[in-house]
Amino acid sequence: MRSSGATVRSRDRRGRVFAGLAAACALVALGAAGRYRPDFSAAEVGKVPADMQVLSGAFKVAEAGRDKFLELPGEPLDAFGLLFGPAGPPEVDVRARVWSESSGRRFPEFGVGGGDVGGYRLLLLPAQHRLELRKGDEAVTSVEPPQRWQSGAWAWVRLKISKRTEGRWTIEGKTWPDGAAEPAQWPLAHDVTEAPPQGRASVWGVPFSGRPIRFDDLTVEPADR
C-alpha cells in the first residue's frame, strides 16, 4: 500500500507536469494566434512583466497620468535590451512606439529587433538622422529616414523580416511620428541569403541624452510575404 507521503509527492509531480504542459500549450496557442501584444495597463508599476526577459538595463513598467509603458532609465549609459513575445521562426514583423528626449547635443538611440540577441535590430539614431540595421552589434546598412525625429514626442519603429524565395530573405525597416499615417514605403531594405536567427523579439535603448526611453504598443506577429 502506497504511503500518504508517496501519494502527496506523486500528486505534486503530476501537478508540476500538468502545469508545465499548460504553460507549453499556452505558448503554442500564443504562437498559433499569430500576434503578441503585451498590455501594460494591467502590469504592476516598478516591475517587468513575467513573460519578458531583461538582457541588460533596469527596465520597468512606469506610469505617467493614466498611461503605463515600459521604461529604461536615463542612466547608466550603455546599450540595453529586453526580449518579449514567444520564440519563433525568423520571419517576423516587430514594431513599437518609443518616446525619449534630447539634452543639448546628446540624443538617445532606440529600436526593435527579432531573433534574440544575435538577430537583426533596427535602430533609430537621431544624432546622425539615420535608420540603421544591425546584426547583433554589427552595423549592416543604414538610410536617412524621410522625417526627422522630434525630441519629447512618440515615434514608431518597425522591422519586418520576410522570406521571399528559397534561400532569400528581405529585411525592411521604417520609422514615422506617432499620430502621422504610417508610410507605405520601406526606406530601408536589405536582402540576405543566410537564414536570419530564430528567437524572440526585442527592444533596445541607449540613453545617450541621460533621459529615460519609453516603449509602448510592442507588437510581434508573423511577417507576410
Q: What pLDDT, in 10s, does the model give residues 156-165?
A: 999 999 999 9
- The residue range of the domain holding 165 is 36-222
Q: In this predicted structure, what is the pLDDT of residue 225? A: 54
**Whether residue 96 sits in one domain with residue 9:** no
Return left, alpha or beta for 217; rule: phi > 0 is left, psi -120 to 50 is alpha, else beta.
Answer: left
- State whether 200 and 100 are in the same domain: yes
Q: Please give the grid coordinates belonging to residue 215.
A: 516603449
| 4 and 46 co-located in one domain | no
Beta pairing class for 92-99 and 213-222: antiparallel
More confident residue, 2 or 91: 91
Mean pLDDT in residue range 71-95 = 97
pLDDT band of 143, cuts 50, 70, 90: very high
Per-residue pLDDT at 10 exceeds 70? no
Over residues 148-157, the mean pLDDT reads 98
Helices (H), the chain: 4-33
pLDDT at 94 over 70: yes
Q: What is the mean pLDDT of residues 219-223?
A: 96
Three-point CA angle 203, 206, 210, nearest 5°? 130
**pTM, whole model, 2 decimals?**
0.84
**Looking at the structure, do residues 66 and 169 belong to the same domain, yes or no?**
yes
CB 60 within 8 A of CB 80: no
Tell me, what CATH number does 164's domain have?
A: 2.60.120.560
For residue 113, count other CB atoms closer than 10 A to its CB. 29
**Cβ pair 95, 158 in contact under 8 A:** yes
What pLDDT, in 10s, does the model give residues 194-214?
Answer: 999 999 999 999 999 999 999
